Amino acid sequence: MTDTEVADWWGTAVSRIEPDHIELRGIPVRDLIATTGFGAVIWLMLRGSRPTGAQARLLEAALVAGVDHGPHAPSIAVARITATCGVGINNAMASAINTLGDSHGGAGQECVELLEEIVARSTVPVETAAAEVVAQWRARGVRYLPGFGHRFHTRDPRRDPLLALVDEAAAAGTVSGVFARAARAVETVLNRGRTTPVPMNVDGATAVVYAELGFPAPLARGLFVLSRSVGVLAHAWEEMGQGRRNKGPIPPAVRPTYLG
């Protein structure tokens, strides 16, 4: 009985671990190691069954798109600073991943929710639905729609390659394409009457991919963590090789004295 209660408390459908036997989502790990790519295993672990090759390729494209945005991104800056403080590389990665919150990584999640809300209005054309939902979000006080606009890029270089892949996948029947249409409809609504466009950014484009592939919104953030962890590791490792100790944000030579 105790065992039953413990089993229930820590029960999981994700993996099964017995002496000399490990299953991931019901598949012996020994059968996965040589046959299944890392992207496909990510899908398997999150969804419970294997993806098709086309699904795995589309997922991997979104994962590739988010790996890095340079040392000015909070996640990367925190990784590099922490890496100089005498902790393990996993600790530097943890501090960095901890920054991927609602405003730094959460936009993808919110954009999936936006697109789902639009697509759910299935009785009107997607363009109408987009206009209605945008108006409602604005009425609720949302100033910046998640996944649209960028303070640095005029047109995010990751956007078009991702959308092109979604279009191909829609043409091939891998995905429906309805979320891509919803996202483009939002873009049209946003840019009506504007001289400076507010284009879909990388969070928007990856949200389209994740929504098309059927990932629930919170996993958009989780997948971004997996993606950005790669850049976080690369930068932490590079910084560790440079030998600084207790790196501050501003180079000593240019900071005001009182910054210490």
| Binding-site member from 78, 185, 186, 189 for its own copies (CB under 8 A) | 78
Interaction between residue 231 and its own copies (CB under 8 A): yes
Under rule CB under 8 A, which residues in 33-62 are in contact with its own copies? 33-34, 36-39, 41-42, 45-46, 57, 60-61
11 vs 193 by CB, closer to its own copies: 11
65 vs 118 by CB, closer to its own copies: 65
Interaction between residue 250 and its own copies (CB under 8 A): yes
Q: Please, are residues 250 and 259 in contact by the beta-carbon 8 Å criterion?
A: yes
Interaction between residue 165 and its own copies (CB under 8 A): yes
d(CA 93, CA 171): 39
Interaction between residue 172 and its own copies (CB under 8 A): no
Task: Name residue, tokens 């530097």.
Answer: 92
104 vs 184 by CB, closer to its own copies: 104
Interaction between residue 249 and its own copies (CB under 8 A): yes
Backbone angles phi, psi at 49, to 5 degrees: -145, 165
| Binding-site member from 170, 178, 198, 226 for its own copies (CB under 8 A) | 226
Query: Which of 21-29, 132-140, 169-177, 179-187 is the region at the interface with its own copies (rule: CB under 8 A)?
Result: 21-29
Which string of DSSP letters, residue by residue, matches 91-102? HHHHHHHTT-ST
Number of C-alpha atoms within 13 angstroms, CB side, residue 200?
30
Q: 151 by DSSP, 3-state: which?
A: coil
User: How large is the greatest C-alpha to C-alpha distance in the chain, in angstroms?
Assistant: 69
Least distance from C-beta 194 to its own copies, angstroms? 18
Interaction between residue 198 and its own copies (CB under 8 A): no
| Binding-site member from 50, 54, 71, 170 for its own copies (CB under 8 A) | 71
Interaction between residue 221 and its own copies (CB under 8 A): yes
| Binding-site member from 155, 171, 188, 214 for its own copies (CB under 8 A) | 155
The neighbouring-strand residues paired with 200 are: 148
Under rule CB under 8 A, which residues in 135-154 are in contact with its own copies? 152-154
Radius of gyration of the chain (CA): 21
Residues 6 or more apart whose CB falls under 8 angstroms from that of 23 comprise 15, 16, 17, 29
Token reading at 198: 């507010």
